[in-house]
């Protein structure tokens, strides 16, 4: 692949305000301070074509080989092991996402044709992922090459095609991330990880699609597996965790019932009270009174 760099503002990128930089470089000599650790507000993707790169991403050490894809999220640091760019060939794509919140909420921007649900699932995967390097992902190289072809040749429909390929790239890496979970081999362990995620984000309005995407299964297969493993449907399992958290919070004196309801993911205190009473026979306030006699 040739050496080229498109940067925001150049003519080729005018139809693509979300692409901040797209380039490829064959690095033949070592220059000091050529890759010092820095963070941006962009999603940065690097694909290695040749050579061996020693990088520190988000405070973890990685050695990248040809075929590897590095994902650097907005706010994460990327730098060379010795602050320099090693010898080899690498392509990169920097994208300005409209939003990628720590909760996993992802809005790519108008250019993308991913649905809201799909974007949210991809966002969750990106945020929860702690392995920023996906190894041996040759398909990513093919997609990088396609983007380059579209931008160089500018044939009819190239803006649509380019954006489609970027979507495809996001889908590819999301799928690869879910495959790493290897949920078929060890569903209990996969489920344990999911359970931790649910607990950490209990106020999030979880959907089955999102949970299924997190463990890399289709919704039907996911629901079946959860049902046979836990005895509950995925949504009922979440309610189960919510109510057990509620029991604990209600036994603490200083949190009011509405705050508890919202904190554990019910959309109103009525919704919370109805669900709670159905199960326990007590309203949340009665339950609290029974358990804290002094109040």
Buried b (16+ CB within 10 A) or exposed e, 173-211: bbebbbeebebeeebeebbeebeebbeebbebebbbbbb
Nearest distance from C-beta of residue 212 to other proteins, angstroms: 16
The verdict on 274 binding other proteins (CB under 8 A) reads no
Q: Which is nearer to other proteins, 112 or 197 (CB)?
A: 197
Stretch that binds other proteins, among 7-15, 64-72, 128-136, 278-286 (CB under 8 A): 278-286
Q: Which is nearer to other proteins, 157 or 231 (CB)?
A: 231
Candidate residues 55, 62, 187, 266; the one interacting with other proteins per rule CB under 8 A: 187
Q: Look-up: residue for tokens 């380019």? A: 162
Nearest distance from C-beta of residue 222 to other proteins, angstroms: 13
- The answer to whether the beta carbons of residues 72 and 46 sit under 8 Å apart is yes
The verdict on 282 binding other proteins (CB under 8 A) reads yes
Q: Which is nearer to other proteins, 39 or 241 (CB)?
A: 241
- The answer to whether the beta carbons of residues 236 and 203 sit under 8 Å apart is no
CA 247 – CA 77 distance, rounded (Å): 41
Determine how many CB atoms are found less than 10 A away from the CB of residue 295. 7
- The answer to whether the beta carbons of residues 94 and 40 sit under 8 Å apart is yes
Binders of other proteins in range 217-236 (CB under 8 A): 225, 229-232, 236
Binders of other proteins in range 233-252 (CB under 8 A): 236, 240-241, 243-245, 247-248, 251
CA 267 – CA 261 distance, rounded (Å): 7
Helix 158-180 crosses helix 138-153 at what angle (to 10 degrees)? 170
The verdict on 279 binding other proteins (CB under 8 A) reads yes
Nearest distance from C-beta of residue 281 to other proteins, angstroms: 3
| Residues forming the site for other proteins (CB under 8 A) | 184-187, 192, 195, 225, 229-232, 236, 240-241, 243-245, 247-248, 251, 277-282, 286, 291-293
């Amino acid at each position: 692949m040739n050496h080229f760099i498109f940067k925001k503002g150049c003519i080729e990128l005018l139809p693509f305000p979300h692409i901040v930089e797209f380039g490829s470089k064959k690095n033949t000599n070592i220059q000091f301070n050529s890759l010092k650790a820095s963070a941006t507000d962009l999603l940065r993707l690097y694909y290695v074509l040749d050579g061996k790169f020693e990088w520190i991403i988000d405070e973890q050490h990685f050695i990248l080989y040809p075929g590897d894809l590095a994902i650097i999220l907005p706010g994460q640091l990327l730098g060379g092991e010795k602050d320099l760019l090693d010898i080899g060939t690498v392509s990169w794509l920097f994208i300005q996402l409209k939003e990628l919140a720590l909760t996993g909420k992802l809005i790519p921007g108008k250019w993308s044709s991913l649905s809201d649900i799909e974007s949210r699932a991809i966002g969750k995967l990106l945020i929860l992922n702690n392995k920023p390097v996906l190894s041996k992902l040759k398909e990513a190289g093919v997609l990088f090459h396609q983007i380059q072809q579209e931008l160089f040749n500018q044939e009819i429909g190239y803006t649509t095609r380019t954006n489609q390929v970027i979507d495809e790239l996001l889908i590819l890496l999301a799928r690869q991330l879910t495959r790493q979970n290897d949920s078929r081999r060890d569903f209990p362990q996969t489920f344990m990880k999911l359970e931790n995620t649910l607990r950490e984000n209990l106020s999030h309005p979880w959907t089955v699609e999102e949970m299924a995407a997190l463990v890399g299964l289709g919704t039907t297969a996911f629901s079946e597996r959860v049902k046979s493993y836990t005895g509950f449907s995925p949504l009922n399992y979440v309610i189960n965790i919510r109510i057990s958290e509620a029991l604990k919070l209600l036994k603490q004196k200083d949190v009011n019932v509405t705050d508890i309801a919202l904190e554990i993911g019910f959309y109103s205190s009525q919704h919370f009270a109805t669900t709670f009473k159905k199960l326990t026979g007590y309203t949340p306030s009665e339950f609290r009174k029974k358990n804290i006699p002094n109040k």
